[in-house]
Chain A
Amino acid sequence: MPKISVDDRVLEVPEGMTILQALDAAGLLMNGVDVPHYCWHPKLSIDGSCRLCQVEIEGMPKLQIACNTLVQDGMVVRTTTERVTKAREGVMELLLVNHPLDCPICDQAGECKLQDYAYEYGALESRTREPRRALKKRVDLGPTIVFDQERCILCRRCVRFCREVPGTGELGVVNRGDRSVIETFPGTQLENDYSMNVADICPVGALTTKDFRFKIRVWFLEDVPGICTGCANGCNVHLGVANNRVYRYVPRRNDAVNQTWICDEGRLSYKEIEAGRLRAASVRGERGAVEVSVEAALAEAAARLRGVLESRGPGAVGVLASPHATNEDLAVLRRLADALGVETRGVAVPVGRADQLLIKAEKAANAEGARRLGFGPAAAVLDRVRQGAVLALLVLGHDALDSGDLASPAELAGLAALVVLDTHQSPLHLVAHVAVPTRVAAEKHGTLTNAAGLVQAVQPAVEPAFEAWSEAEALWRLGVLLGLEGFAGRFDPGAFAAAAS
């Protein structure tokens, strides 16, 4: 493998890489070795137009752009010399000549590469006396994106993204020279399943999402690593958290799972952390559902289940797992079912459209995890319900309705005991005897197994504003209330994991 030296640090680099790719692969780019850049992106074609990534290479009289220079054995690269510093200053100054002074009202402030690099590599004062070019400032580019032509630095990442990733190619650079401007074809919009990624890759506030526009300043947000739960791909994200709320998802780079992208639907699924939540436990009496504490609801659930167990035995009980619950939640469910002697168990997985990129057909993040923990197709469980063989059902979530395995909640109306542990409201709760709110992935520790079998961790980013337990905690308590062997005290994830392995 070729060996190069960068600022006297020796790197072994695979053949065929550019200097920037090599630094990126070694985890050094902007993390030990500073080569600021705009137009280059690790997942897009090389552009070479911003000129910011120029570096000095021994033996070459002119500065070279690191994004387009292939490494060669023995290459000596320097990124901190006077010439490089002056070149960067030059590029920054020229970019700022026409850039509007929008920082006070621009969403990008705080995560803006123009701000960052102007501060790090630019000159202290502006020398321009000329009026800046005046262009359109609020172009409605499509359903998800607003475009400010004046802020654009013409790095063309967005144009390349649309051509190369979703392949929809809605954007182009029209005119030439300093009249260049990015546009869509008249009558067309920026509209594809991945459109909002352009706001991530835009180094400045030219492309921003309508969803996040003016919501909050990014420096108030804490970035908590997490996983999108919209489908079985398990795209890595950062949850932007402030005031115990999630304000947005942004994709987190994972070359094995989602590169640097996320689909729009997944990106917006952060809203589900708050919207439509089941906010209170309830117990169904003669006059309808009554709100109770979780503890009280679990006690009622235990009573009902015990009723069926004692009169008909474990063969009359079934469990439906949720493909949204974590592996830890589902492991407790399995342990509970094992302890009860319940063999009728399954999981319903809603499916939908898939594509060649990230979007998977299974619309839940842990379908594979559920299967690997022994939960087979939900049909097996529901058929036994329809046959009258199963009279009690312990259900996590309401996926059987979403998947179509259940035509309607009425199909379960004849059960003697229907206990539902759910994160979100559903018509299913109307026929449940007990409904218990549980936590979503962003509110607990746990792991999820994606479609490719990769196990990824989630952690609590926010606390629910109402009483909600994780499924694991609730099921454990149920086991304690049912007096099952091995279930005692509070759910202890550490002890449980040790025991499970």
Chain B
Amino acid sequence: MLKVPYTTGYLSEHFADDEYATLAGYERRGGYRALKQVLAEVAPADVIELVKASGLQGRGGAGFSTGLKWSFMPKDGGKPKYLVCNADESEPGSFKDRILMERGPHQLLEGILIAAWATGAEKTFVYVRGEYREPADRVERAVAELYEKGYLGPKVMKKAFRHDVVVQRGAGAYICGEETGLLESLEGKKGQPRKKPPFPAQHGAFGMPTTVNNVETFCHVPHIVLRGAEWFRGIGTEKSPGSTIFGVSGQVQRPGLFELPLGTRLDEIVFEHAGGPLPGRKVKGVIPGGMSMPILPAHQLDVPMANEFLRERKTMLGTGGIMVMDDTTCMVRASCVISWFFRDESCGQCTQCREGTGWMHKIIERIERGAGQPDDLAILLDVAAKMEGQTICAFSDAAAWPVQGMLRHFREDFERHVALGHCPFGECFEL
């Protein structure tokens, strides 16, 4: 299997070149021209306007307008300001940030430096999930190269602009991908998300104004600077411009990464780019955006991969982690795996999440064992409803959505378990 994306674009077109991960290799390909341009001729406020005009949305799953987020940082010079690069990528099905760090660390750092210039941030903490040792090593090497060349430090590129980058490694907790959970972990505590308000732009890392952005979000920025907002808007859809790197996994012929414009149809990605189902099998369901997003059945894959369309189908783009399940897969068993994940990763603060993730998993596991009762499904949906919209962070919602999606489209799998008293899918993977 190729590690570089099967289809590339402006983000990944040079990933096959091993030198691209070095400063020299990156500059040879035109890297750091955007930063030079910005430092020479674009005022910080204008950079923010540019990014706003481009319509770039965060690529970490929430899809918030990046330019708008940057504009929340205070303009005055009172307190030190920080950027945080959320490299905690832990959403099952997502593996795009990993390759962006492994093969394009300087693209990421250039985006960070442009963001720093725009927001007045003096330091960036790159928080990389602990298990991503190689990607974190490569980012650290790239950072060292930048210090050596004077692209980081007290006078970036000899301008009156100082910036430092610190790479911190996480230690294995999905919830540290949540913005404020990350900040808590960065500060040396348990990664338990914070109550909001206050929001990070007022009270973020170490109490200072902070902007948190996903790895991929930063990576788009140098391209937007070099080619303009119009160019960026020309890719993707009207409401969701630009490209993203989709990750396709599961029961397909060609799992891997695919850089494609937002709005590319899901069935095109699954059947054409990823080669469709394995021989002799049919697609049964596809989770479009990482495991938190509700599943779509096979007959609903004709949907452009962009939030404005996915929302109509009661699901979302998330992190573009596309997981394909074929007709050998038992959706109850899949739900066991999914609900166990959420039970294991709940930080445990909020009542609904802590108890609800546990309860849902126990019910689903009991149904899979063949001890399900008819009213268990109604209880599951009721518990899911009680977990939505009422907690400190969206993890509780993310735990509820997959269950709702499964029962919306694959209720029959559950009902058969209850009626039969055992799992009817003999060919499915064993738990």
Contact = CB atoms under 8 A, between A and B. Distances in A.
Contact of B346 (A63, A127, A133, A176): A176
Chain B interface size band reads 20 to 34
A278 to B, nearest CB: 53
Contact of B390 (A87, A129, A175): A87
B311 interface: no
B385 to A, nearest CB: 8
A169 interface: no
Contacts of A51: 350-352, 390-391
Contacts of A68: 195
Interface string A31-55: 0000000000000001011111010
A36 to B, nearest CB: 12
Contacts of A454: none
Contacts of A98: 355, 358
B349 interface: yes
Given A49-B350, A177-B343, A177-B347, A94 B390 contact: no
Interface string B341-370: 001111111111011111100110010000
Contact of B358 (A49, A97, A175): A97
A52 to B, nearest CB: 7
Nearest to A94: B355
Nearest to B358: A178
B195 A178 contact: no
A177 B359 contact: no
A258 to B, nearest CB: 29
A91 B346 contact: no
A130 B359 contact: yes
Contacts of B389: 62-63
A173 interface: yes
Interface in B363-401: 363, 366, 373, 375-376, 379, 383, 386, 389-392
A257 interface: no
Contacts of B357: 177-178
Nearest to B354: A178
B354 A180 contact: yes
Nearest to A65: B195
A436 B348 CA distance: 61
A173 B347 CA distance: 11
A95 B366 contact: no
B380 to A, nearest CB: 11
A127 B379 contact: yes
Main secondary structure of the interface of B (DSSP, over half): helix
Given A50-B351, A94-B356, A130-B366, A176 B173 contact: yes
Nearest to B346: A177
A90 interface: yes
Contacts of A62: 389-390
A130 B363 contact: yes
Contacts of B344: 177
B378 to A, nearest CB: 9
Nearest to B353: A177
B273 to A, nearest CB: 36
A177 B345 contact: yes
A95 B362 CA distance: 15
Contacts of A130: 359, 362-363, 366
A62 B397 CA distance: 13
B392 A49 contact: yes
A451 B363 CA distance: 60
A49 B190 contact: no
A81 interface: no
Interface string A81-121: 00000010011011101100000000000000000000000
A262 interface: no
A408 interface: no
Contacts of A93: 386
A51 B386 CA distance: 11
Given A49-B350, A95-B355, A173-B348, A178 B343 contact: yes
Contacts of A91: 351-352
Interface string A249-266: 000000000000000000
Contacts of B376: 129
A177 B358 contact: yes
Contacts of B358: 97-98, 133, 177-178
Interface string B162-204: 0000000000010100000000000000100001000000000
A80 interface: no
Interface of B: 173, 175, 190, 195, 343-352, 354-359, 362-363, 366, 373, 375-376, 379, 383, 386, 389-392
18 contacts: A49-B349, A52-B351, A87-B390, A91-B351, A91-B352, A94-B359, A94-B383, A95-B355, A98-B358, A129-B376, A130-B359, A154-B348, A154-B351, A175-B348, A176-B190, A176-B347, A178-B346, A180-B354
Interface of A: 46, 48-52, 54, 62-63, 65, 68, 87, 90-91, 93-95, 97-98, 127-130, 133, 153-154, 173, 175-180
Given A68-B195, A176-B190, 11 more contacts: A46-B195, A49-B349, A90-B352, A97-B355, A128-B359, A130-B362, A133-B358, A173-B348, A177-B344, A178-B358, A180-B348
